[in-house]
Amino acid sequence: MLASNLTKIIDSSIECKKINHCYLLKTSKGVNLDDNIIYMINSFTGLNIENLDQSSLPSNIVIADASKSQGEGLKKDNIVDIFEQSNFSNFLENGLKIIVFKNIDLASHQALNTLLKTIEEPADDVVFILTTQNINQVLTTIKSRSFIINVNKQKNDMLQDEISNLGFDNDQAWLLSNVVSDISLILENKQFYEFSKINELLDALIKSFKNKISLIILLTKLNKREYHDDLVFLIECLKFILTWAWMPLDFLPKKFQSFAKKIAEAEFNYKKCFLVLDKFLNSVGTNDNLFLQAESMFVYILECYE
């Protein structure tokens, strides 16, 4: 979703002819920044690109992602190659060069040092757009040389209404609006967010209070590379579902109140499990082995059954 504060900042900088050489977009986990990046690129260059697929972009627009989920992380050699590609574009394209580094906090230290040297002595025809979902992990020297723009998570009530408009019922929209941070994620792949997955998760969780391996059986099936997106989504859902145990019941839709009671009354340390899930989710996108992180999480989840 396009942030209004970002459009105002970018429009004003262009009008005043004061385009910064480096922008850092900071947001919370799960927020999709692509619409904002596309707006910036089109505004700066006069282009009309519709997506960030590198194969469809002109040579003066370069996109790189430091998260392992999108590749193998961003290394020093990747940075050097990008700068060389950018220099070569001088012969092919006129105008501004835009270099986008997503999830810059996940890049290697060598890559960040190489980037920092370039940011410190920027060329007049280059604009960097950096993004992060963990501003505290970004080097102070990079933050100090960047124009930082905060892109907030879409408000839950607004997000819930938009999800309802996509055909989900009110209860489903309520749950999804507390798990998904941006409507664009659902718009890109509505089928991925089929509520049958969450119903299966709820069923496995309740059954696990009598047979603790029920939940692990479901999650273990998804601990394969081709299903890791599904696993992460269900863990995000499960983390939110566990919060129902300490929520006032009237805050929950009636459909989910019985689940909340069963979680709270079960011989199950839901607070400990919540922390286990949170630790796993914080490892997603890093250079940690997701398969091993998931296996470790499963062991700790089993320990939550008292």
Q: For residue 159, what are its two tokens?
A: 């997000």
150 — phi, psi (to 5°)? -90, 125
* Helix, coil or strand: residue 153: coil
pLDDT at 252: 93
The contacts of residue 165 (CB under 8 Å, 6+ apart) are none
Specify the pLDDT at position 299.
Answer: 96
Distance of CA 66 to the CA centre of its chain: 12
The model's pTM is 0.68
Q: What is the pLDDT of residue 82?
A: 64
Residue 288: predicted pLDDT: 66
- Per residue of the chain (306 residues), give pLDDT as tens: 788 889 999 998 898 888 999 999 998 887 889 999 999 999 999 999 999 988 888 888 988 888 754 445 566 566 666 666 555 445 445 578 898 989 988 887 777 877 787 787 777 888 999 999 888 888 888 888 899 998 887 788 889 999 999 999 999 999 999 998 888 889 888 999 999 999 999 999 999 999 999 999 999 999 998 999 999 999 999 999 999 999 888 889 999 999 999 999 999 999 999 999 999 988 886 656 889 999 999 999 999 997
**pLDDT at residue 275, rounded to an integer:** 94
Q: Give the span between the Cα atoms of 19 and 12, in whole angstroms.
A: 9
pLDDT of residue 92: 45
CB 164 within 8 A of CB 151: no
How confident is the model at residue 139, as a pLDDT?
A: 85
pLDDT of residue 207: 97
